[in-house]
A and B are shown apart, each in its own frame.
Chain A
Amino acid sequence: QLQLQESGPGLVKPSETLSLTCTVSGGSISSSSYYWGWIRQPPGKGLEWIGSIYYSGSTYYNPSLKSRVTISVDTSKNQFSLKLSSVTAADTAVYYCACLPVAVAGTFFDYWGQGTLVTVSS
């Protein structure tokens, strides 16, 4: 069974870049069966999809965040990463990584990491 684990700083200063990595175990990130994605959840609020990537590097981003988001994949390390630039307090959230089964159009989130809280504060 796939397992995902987020890692990265828990505190980021305003205007700086948030960087997180998701390490995949129990399977290959180069599998043709999955996309890999990031979702976030502000404290006490709902879920927001940030973006997704295929092992080939093809990406899909939420238009509301697209100008600030970069998602990349490192097949040699079985990891994928999130960078969110110019952060503000509104970006404070629990960030989850997840895998998404390949489908014709969009798809759903099958396995999730445990999540990591990132606080934006000076």
Chain B
Amino acid sequence: EIVMTQSPATLSVSPGERATLSCRASQSVSSNLAWYQQKPGQAPRLLIYGASTRATGIPARFSGSGSGTEFTLTISSLQSEDFAVYYCQQYNNWLLTFGGGTKVEIK
């Protein structure tokens, strides 16, 4: 099983600032990495797939980068609606696994 580790667990950021979230895989997943946003009481929403491709309707302030074992999700200028929990997920094989999540909270 590929273990996904996200850091930090919690990120305190002021509105308008940049947020950088990290995700590490226990072995290479190439670019088979997705990011999701989850708000309280809601289902996760796909943000990024293929490590760097934004899903339909996702604002340009969200960007993904990385390959192999190290990945980053960057939110360039945090808006009020961006405070949420973010998960990464690898799909290099059919044992799909998620990271433990990063909570982005208002500083």
- The interface size bin for chain A is 20 to 34
Give residues 54-85 of A contacting B (CB, 8 Å). 60, 62-63
Closest to A49 in B: B96
Closest to B85 in A: A46
Q: Which residues of B contact A60 (CB under 8 A)?
A: 94
**Of B98, B99, B101, most A-chain CB atoms within 10 Å:** B98
Q: Which residues of A contact B43 (CB under 8 A)?
A: 96, 112-115
A62 contacts B95, C-beta separation under 8 Å? yes
Shortest Cβ distance from residue B12 to the other chain A in the assembled complex, whole angstroms: 19
Interface of A is mostly: loop
A47 and B101 CA atoms in complex are apart in Å by: 9
A103 contacts B91, C-beta separation under 8 Å? yes
Query: Mask for A91-115, Cβ within 8 A of B = 1, else 0?
Result: 0000010000001011111111111
Give residues 75-107 of B contacting A (CB, 8 Å). 87, 89-101
Q: Which residues of B contact A107 (CB under 8 A)?
A: 91, 96
A105 contacts B32, C-beta separation under 8 Å? yes
Q: Is B55 an interface residue (CB 8 A)?
A: yes
| Given A47-B98, A48-B98, A106-B96: A112 touches B91 (CB 8 Å cut-off) | no
Query: Mask for B31-60, Cβ within 8 A of A = 1, else 0?
Result: 010101000001111100100000100000
Q: Among B45, B46, B94, which residue has its beta carbon within 8 angstroms of that of A105?
A: B94
Shortest Cβ distance from residue B85 to the other chain A in the assembled complex, whole angstroms: 9
A63 and B95 CA atoms in complex are apart in Å by: 8
Q: Among B36, B46, B94, which residue has its beta carbon within 8 angstroms of that of A106?
A: B94
A40 and B10 CA atoms in complex are apart in Å by: 22
A107 and B89 CA atoms in complex are apart in Å by: 9
Shortest Cβ distance from residue A48 to the other chain B in the assembled complex, whole angstroms: 7
B98 contacts A46, C-beta separation under 8 Å? yes
Shortest Cβ distance from residue A45 to the other chain B in the assembled complex, whole angstroms: 9
